[in-house]
Structure 1
Amino acid sequence: MTVHDIRAALAADKATVGTWLQLPSPDVAELMARAGYDWVAVDMEHGSFGRTGLPDIFRAIECGGAAPFARLPVAAKTTVKAALEAGAQGLIFPMIETREQLNQAISWAVYPGHDDGRAPDEPLRENRGVGYCRANVFGKDFDAYMTRRAPELFLVAQIEHIRAVENLDAILSHPRLDAIMVGPYDLSGSMGLTAQFDHPDFKAAMERIHAACKRHKPLMGLHIVQPDPEELRRQIAAGSRFIAYGIDSVFLWRGAERPR
């Protein structure tokens, strides 16, 4: 599975389902990729990943047949560069609350001269640094990466705070944004309702997000943290198209816990 395949599926209104990786093991990364997911997102925010280990993790995901994505620890120049140069095909930017934050994050992921989605009246921002790295096979595939693969990066903004919900139209109108992903625990926490997903106020916020996605190009996405096939089917039926399903550590807990 490649980013091109993922976009083709989404263009046909099919959901793309990936999963979340927190354990810094290439073996676990390959196993999760071979479990049938379209993409596997390396959680650089809460997982135990160092920069030197990322290439092996991404290689393992590719070996397993999935596209390697990275959820960054923070949308910053150094973290964007670390993930992309190691070979990430998609980036998930955490805690995006404003259009300005998103503009800056995307600019760091886009090479000079490539379309970063800025509006004519928005200022030019610092772009991605150019250099040899694992992503372009240390220069061997430099031209191909620059002209074909780099412009295809899949870019996702995480909606994790009620302030982001207030700014949704500005965020979702960014032409370079492919999808959003709701972080349910952080979003509910920002409302003083941590993990109260059945609370009317949280449900109302989710309805606002769904409605905003229908008004704009970026696709609705979310993380189903606790694996539940029925919830996955329900979210797809409700219109979610970019879904992270489970976490490697949660799958391990469920399978390994001693029977009582």
Structure 2
Amino acid sequence: MKNVQLGSWITLNHPSIAEIMADAGFDWLCVDLEHSVTDYFEAQQLIMAIQSKGLKAFVRVGENNTRIIKRVLDAGADGIIVPSVNSAAEARKAVDSVKYPPFGKRGVGLSRAQSYGFGFEKYRDTKAKEIVLIVQIEHINAIRELDEILSIEGVDGSFIGPYDLSGSMGLPGAWDKQEVKDALLIYEETVKKYNKLVGYHVISPNFELVNEKVEKGYDFIAFSLDTLFLGEFARNQVNKFKNH
């Protein structure tokens, strides 16, 4: 099997959830700020919990916004996932937000990432250069500009968003439509030309679906999310009890 970085999604804003998920054996966990009620303070607590277990802590920001990205990086995030990157210009904006000058335009803060002002130089010269930037490809316009997006230096990988992609085509969730299949195929063929991470979020907590994506060439896979791992197992066991 190829080298696959397997992670999952954290949507419940409590450090205990992050610790429990981290102990499951994932390589990374992503704190979701786009579709959760998690705020900046809670995000930092989750980042701390994830990193205390030796995992990489990613954050999916709510938008391609310099201020948001700056704040979660200063909180100590190891990687950033940016939604709805639809052009090379938007990809470059994300890079500028993540990288310090002269490569980018990130402002200097003295928060947790920089040891609260006592370790800026060390952070600048080491961890800041290792931050992973993943752009989400979830619009047909992004498919059309995929080569240009992936060619941007500083973009470390991409994450296909099939639901929003199909929606941008006026066919939300219509996986059987040839137009949607063709768009996904373009993505899977184009990313092969680049030595960058290829991401997919397998929503259902079913490892066989992860294997299917690995066989297609995906190597940065988010495996389900905290609420589904909790809910699926609870429902399964309760149903077995009630129907035995």
Same fold at TM > 0.5: yes
- Percent sequence identity over matched residues? 35
Q: Match for 2:150 among 138, 150, 172? A: 172
- One-letter amino acid of the structure 1 residue matched with residue 234 of structure 2: A
The counterpart of 2:191, out of the listed 205, 210, 213, is: 213
Residue 91 of structure 1 aligns with which residue? 80
Distance in 2, matches of 1:84 and 1:13, equals 30
In 1, Cα distance between equivalents of 2:116 and 2:197: 33
Corresponding residue for 1:3? none
2:137 and 2:161 in contact (8 A); partners too: yes
Displaced runs of 4 or more, over 6 A = none
What is the DSSP-based 3-state SS (H/G/I as helix, E as strand, rest coil) of the residue aligned with 2:197? coil
Q: Secondary structure of 1:244's partner?
A: strand
**Please, what TM-score do these two structures have when normalized by structure 2?**
0.93
- 2:20 counterpart residue number: 31
Q: Give structure 2 stretches of 5+ with no counterpart.
A: none
Paired residue for 1:194, among 140, 161, 172?
172
Mapped partners of 2:85, 2:94: distance in 1: 9
Residue 172 of structure 2 aligns with an amino acid whose one-letter code is: T
C-alpha offsets along residues 210-229 of structure 1, whole Å, 9 cap, x if unaligned?
Answer: 11111223232111111221
Residue of structure 2 in register with 1:15 after alignment:
4
Q: Structure 1-normalised TM-score?
A: 0.87
Please give the alpha-carbon distance, in whole angstroms, between the structure 2 residues aligned to 1:110 and 1:38.
23
Q: Which residue of 2 aligns with 1:157?
A: 135
| Whole-angstrom CA distance in 2 between matches of 1:247 and 1:166 | 30
Residue deviations 1:44-85 (CA, integer Å, cap 9, x gap): 000111112222111111122211000010010111011101
* Corresponding pairs, count: 238
2:204 corresponds, among 205, 226, 234, to 226
User: What is the CA deviation profile of residues 19-68 of structure 1, one whole-angstrom value per residue up to 9, with x for unaligned ones?
Assistant: 01111010001111111111101110001111122221111111222110
* 1:181 maps onto 2:156 in alignment: no
Aligned with 1:112: secondary structure? coil
1:135 to 100, 113, 135: 113
Per-residue Cα deviation, 1:175-228 (whole angstroms, up to 9, x for no partner): 211110011211121122222334332221111001111122323211111122
Say whether the 8 Å CA contact 2:6–2:223 is kept in structure 1. Answer: yes
- Gaps of at least 5 residues in structure 1 are 1-11, 117-126
Q: Indicate conservation of the 8 Å contact 2:162/2:184, yes or no.
A: no
Matched, 1:55 2:44: yes
The one of 105, 108, 125 equivalent to 1:147 is: 125
Structure 1 equivalent of residue 218 of structure 2? 240
- Partner Cα distance (1:31, 1:200) in 2: 41
1:68 to 2:57 alignment: yes
Instruction: Measure, in 1, the Cα distance between the counterparts of 2:88 and 2:25.
Output: 34
